[in-house]
Homo-oligomer: A and B are copies of this chain.
Amino acid sequence: MTYCVALLLKEGLVMLSDTRTNAGVDHIATFSKMHVVEVPGERVLCLLAAGNLAVTQSVVHLVTKGPSGKGASGKAAAKAKTLYTVPTMFQAAELVGTAVGEVFREHGETMRAQNVNFEVSVLLGGQIKGREPSLFEIYAAGNFIEATEDTPFLQIGEHKYGKPILDRAARYDIGIADAVKLVLVSMDSTLRSNVTVGLPIDLFLYRRDALKTDLRRRITEDDRYFRQLREHWSAALRDAYRALPRPDWMG
């Protein structure tokens, strides 16, 4: 399982993903689900992927290396339509959707014949020079939605445990540090309630118009701040529910 969450903010973007993949509970591994495409001063895109690992790796390969697989630099790359070359974030989302469709045409039928679900979903955030920062969720069908000021957060994978706090507190105009705390708390709830979502986690921060990554950080079990945040949050929740008034109809 996977949990990825992203927030579109007035100040920029915050994206977070776990790293656990599992094929059954006895086959667990660590794979980053975060892929950053960056041309400083020109574009920064961050892609988070959930689903069947073979599918998501194929999609990432297609959208970063192009159909010829010639890589992200050199002459062939300059011509290939990849996340390094598309002119807008909308077209970047379309490109991911098209790649999902290609992988489905290549492997979907065989997977179904073997009772393996074709599962993939992608969060794609970023900014390309001269355009607004934006954030998309691309589905297994290749279609997609865009985050808005009304609903600035998107989630993929095991999203339910971490959603209540986002429903209450995620807003377009909160500061980037508050947004970081928010996605970490949302991840913490998911980590606690589902063992197939696991540490370490990858964090990506982007500040509007910077056109370079602000921060990428792998947060491990040893991260002092995250450990502290988890303890604080647990204590705060327990205190908060205890501090609620007693029901007046209980007598």
Q: A169-B238, A225-B247 are in contact. Are A189 and B177 (CB under 8 A)?
A: no
The 8 Å CB contact of A241, one of B178, B234, B242, B249, is: B178
Q: Report the separation of the CA atoms of residues A161 and B205 in the bound assembly, to the nearest whole angstrom.
A: 27
Q: A164-B189, A167-B193, A180-B250 are in contact. Are A244 and B233 (CB under 8 A)?
A: yes
Q: Report the separation of the CA atoms of residues A161 and B164 in the bound assembly, to the nearest whole angstrom.
A: 6
**B236 near A181: Cβ-Cβ < 8 Å:** no
Report, as a range, how many residues of chain A touch the other chain: 35 or more
Q: Does A107 contact B (CB under 8 A)?
A: no
Chain B residues closer than 8 Å to A189, beta-carbon distance: 164
Q: Does A141 contact B (CB under 8 A)?
A: no
Q: Report the separation of the CA atoms of residues A157 and B247 in the bound assembly, to the nearest whole angstrom.
A: 25
The 8 Å CB contact of A161, one of B163, B215, B246, is: B163
The 8 Å CB contact of A247, one of B164, B168, B177, B246, is: B177
Instruction: Name the CB-closest residue of B to A236.
Output: B240
**B234 near A248: Cβ-Cβ < 8 Å:** no
